[in-house]
Amino acid sequence: MTASTTRESELRALTDLGLYEAGAATRGVGAMHRVIAGGVFRMLRPVLGGSVDTARMVHDAVSEGAYNSITAALDAGRSAADHVPWSEGRAPSQTARGAVLLGILNGLIGDELETADSPLTADMSVRVDGRPVSLDAESLREGLPDAGGHVVVFLHGLMESEFAWSLSERPTYGERLARDIGATEVQLRYNTGRHISENGRALADLLDALVLLWPTPVTRLSLIGHSMGGLVVRSACHAADQRGDYWPGLVSETVCLGTPHLGAPLARGVHLATNALRRTPVTRPIGSLLRRRSAGVRDLFHGSLTDDDWIGHDPDAWSQPPGADVPLLKGARHLFVTATITRDPDHPVGRLFGDGLVLAPSGRGQHTRQRRGLRFHEGFHIGNAHHFTLLNSDAIYDWLRGHLTPRRQLPPGRSS
């Protein structure tokens, strides 16, 4: 697909989706309006008697006409959008702002977009300057001309894209690692609305091809994931290890930055709110909207990593069973970073809110009843920071570089 064709298909899909969602929102507001108005007229009937029926008929005719007119106009706009000429330029998915928008859409309804075969979905892919790099030897040589043997793969989190690593004015972790230790940064993008286990298999497949087609022999793999990205890394390692892939033997370390190994409280809160709001007619449209949350968001209830964690389970049940306790990849170090919005991690506010999205015990995979196998001494904590601070921090980089810098080999019989 050419650049102009990609741009046109994405802009048409965005326009169509925007008008469709606006129409759905209008219908939802109309449903709430009808329920509320019906309650008001029922309350007034004992006081005003039969005259309320006339007022209600007028009200219903006007309100229904207004809502129907809006939805009809939006539907007409969807049809007209197919004939709008689009100017030349980069596709939204290949620009920083467009990638942010599409990242949010994928996180919210990415599974729906994938089912609809929408051009707005983000396949698991290597990205350079926003553009996808094909997994063939020639494309990899052109896209990554300085490829070396130590490959550091970066996976973003929920509703993000690879541009998230460069939110600040500082160079990315990968750029600094290339400068300081000669590692090669590989940034990936994926559809965060899919199940984590599905993205894990996609990552395993990508790494299998990447190692085979890399311009130089790969001697070392470091896998770094932010938030959900860390769960996808763990799922990929497990899937590849189960099927006997070659690349897991090259993994020297995984690094999880603010990863909810035991689940995220926000995902649980949305789950409970959805069930509560859908119990009353007035709030049911809001509950139905929240119910549309993607499979990826649902997986964050417990940090589920395998297909067995969701196949055959009711995703809307009040209680969700915990996922399988997937073992960490053998032969690799498993580093992690947690953060709290308070300087002191033991401060009551820090313990309650963590980094704003992930609690520290979940970030280090440790709970009174569960433990993911992460070692406390291989972790790092940063205070007075939020969830997105972890994407680019001088303190975290210094710690990361210390762990990823190659260790000098000692002569036989010598120990450090």
Q: Are 221 and 117 in a shared domain?
A: yes
Q: Are 118 and 258 in a shared domain?
A: yes
Q: Which tokens in the block code for residue 330?
A: 């053998």
Q: What's the number of domains the chain is made of? A: 2
Biggest alpha carbon distance in the chain?
Answer: 100
Q: Are 43 and 120 in a shared domain?
A: no
Q: Are 60 and 110 in a shared domain?
A: no
219 found inside a domain: yes
Q: Are 79 and 117 in a shared domain?
A: no
119 found inside a domain: yes
CA distance 406 to 68: 66
Q: Are 136 and 45 in a shared domain?
A: no
Q: Could you give the residue ranges of the DSSP H alpha helices within 244-283?
A: 265-277
Selected residue with higher pLDDT from 323 and 66: 323
409 found inside a domain: no
Selected residue with higher pLDDT from 284 and 35: 284
313 found inside a domain: no
| pLDDT surpassing 90 at residue 49 | no
Ramachandran assignment for 125, one of left (phi > 0), alpha (psi -120 to 50 degrees), beta (any other): beta
Q: Which tokens in the block code for residue 139?
A: 């494309």
| pLDDT surpassing 80 at residue 67 | no
The residue out of 54, 87, 120 marking a domain boundary is 87
CA distance 281 to 33: 11
Q: Are 229 and 337 in a shared domain?
A: yes
The residue range of the domain holding 39 is 3-87
The proportion of the chain whose per-residue pLDDT surpasses 90, expressed as a percent, equals 59
67 found inside a domain: yes
The residue out of 29, 54, 87 marking a domain boundary is 87
Q: What digits encode the pLDDT tens for the residues 307-323?
A: 999 998 888 887 888 88
372 found inside a domain: yes
253 found inside a domain: yes
Q: Are 222 and 131 in a shared domain?
A: yes
Residues for the chain: how many in total? 416
Q: Are 12 and 160 in a shared domain?
A: no
What CA dihedral angle connects 180, 186, 187 and 192, to 10 degrees? -130
What is the CATH classification number for the domain harbouring 161?
3.40.50.1820
Q: Are 239 and 339 in a shared domain?
A: yes
The residue out of 87, 120, 136 marking a domain boundary is 87
Q: Are 111 and 181 in a shared domain?
A: yes
72 found inside a domain: yes
What sign does the dihedral 47-50-55-56 (CA atoms) show?
positive
For residue 9, what pLDDT is reported?
84
C-beta separation of 292 from 109 below 8 A: yes
CA distance 308 to 326: 11
Q: Are 139 and 82 in a shared domain?
A: no
User: Residue 112: how many CB atoms within 10 A of its CB?
Assistant: 17
Selected residue with higher pLDDT from 2 and 163: 163
